């Protein structure tokens, strides 16, 4: 004769495991940090459309559980904005970045490194839109914050220099780009070392600029600086 279902230890164990799994899943669905991590993973994998509903959920959960002016809410908004930028929907990305910036400026302060991150992201959005006049002061302010708070040799400072230089390149203001790129080269050489892979990539990058059919005079000077600094240890590498 079969035992009653309620007395089966295997059924009880399975039921207990199912309840635990459901509880963990529900807890994760109500955890904006976990949702933001999922979004970041999907962004890294290039699965932007798959990430959008999760990012939207992260914003909703963060506002409900943390409040409309919490750092996790700002992080969720930033991720949501990045997704729309990735798929080229700039009109939807802009207000999300702006709201994230407002929150971080109010909660963390105008000179916090995370505030600088949103300034940088909003600037890159304007750059993608071709609105260089809006992008430039934001990149300059982000760089100023990173230099002041993190120091002149921090990786975020180097990235800020690089981003501002790339903007000037797009604007064909090479005389402004040159000293910034030169400073990035000096930082990465000092911090990473001459044999570091990232430094080698930069060498290749600079090499492509300076070997263009009609390279700008400033880029030629930058190329000569790089050769003088690195030729003894890293061979010239050019893309085929």
Tens-digit pLDDT profile for residues 165-194: 999 989 989 889 888 988 888 887 777 665
Domain extent at residue 186? 172-240
169-175: long-range contacts (C-beta < 8 A, 24 or more apart)? Answer: 170/127, 170/132, 171/132, 174/216, 174/217, 174/218, 174/219, 175/218
Per-residue confidence (pLDDT) for residue 55, from 0 to 100 = 94
**Domain assignment present for 182:** yes
Per-residue confidence (pLDDT) for residue 145, from 0 to 100 = 98
C-beta separation of 201 from 171 below 8 A: no
**Domain assignment present for 205:** yes
Per-residue confidence (pLDDT) for residue 186, from 0 to 100 = 82
User: Tokens 């994760």 — which residue?
Assistant: 28
Those residues of the chain that have pLDDT short of 70 are 1-29, 192-240
**Domain assignment present for 92:** no
**Domain assignment present for 76:** no
C-beta separation of 108 from 72 below 8 A: no
Q: What pTM does this model have?
A: 0.73
Angle among Cα 219, 221, 226 to the nearest 5 degrees reads 90
**Domain assignment present for 132:** no
User: Tokens 């955890």 — which residue?
Assistant: 31
**Domain assignment present for 121:** no
C-beta separation of 207 from 237 below 8 A: yes
Kindly state the DSSP code that residue 194 receives in the 8-state scheme: T
95, 101, 105, 111: CA torsion to nearest 10: -150
Per-residue confidence (pLDDT) for residue 216, from 0 to 100 = 59
C-beta separation of 120 from 138 below 8 A: yes
How many CB atoms within 10 Å of residue 190?
A: 10
**Domain assignment present for 178:** yes
Q: Which two tokens stand for residue 1?
A: 């004769």
* 27 vs 25: CA distance, rounded Å: 5
- How many independent structural domains does the chain possess? 1
**Domain assignment present for 185:** yes
């Amino acid at each position: 004769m079969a035992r009653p279902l309620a007395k089966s230890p295997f059924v009880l164990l399975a039921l207990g495991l199912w309840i635990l799994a459901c509880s963990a899943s529900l807890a994760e669905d109500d955890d904006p940090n976990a949702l933001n991590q999922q979004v970041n993973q999907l962004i890294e994998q290039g699965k932007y459309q798959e990430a959008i509903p999760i990012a939207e959920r992260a914003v909703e959960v963060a506002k409900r559980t943390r409040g409309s002016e919490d750092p996790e809410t700002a992080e969720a908004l930033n991720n949501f904005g990045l997704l729309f930028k990735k798929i080229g929907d700039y009109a939807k990305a802009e207000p999300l970045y702006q709201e994230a910036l407002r929150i971080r400026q109010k909660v963390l302060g105008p000179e916090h490194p995370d505030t600088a991150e949103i300034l940088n992201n909003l600037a890159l959005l304007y750059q993608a839109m071709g609105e260089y006049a809006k992008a430039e002061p934001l990149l300059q302010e982000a760089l100023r914050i990173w230099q002041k708070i993190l120091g002149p040799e921090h990786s975020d400072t180097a990235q800020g220099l690089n981003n501002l230089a790339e903007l000037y390149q797009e604007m064909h203001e090479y005389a402004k780009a040159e000293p910034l790129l030169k400073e990035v080269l000096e930082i990465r050489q000092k911090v990473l070392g001459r044999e570091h892979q990232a430094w080698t990539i930069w060498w290749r990058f600079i090499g492509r600029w300076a070997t263009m059919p009609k390279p700008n005079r400033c880029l030629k000077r930058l190329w000569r600086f790089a050769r003088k600094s690195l030729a003894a240890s890293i061979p010239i590498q050019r893309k085929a």
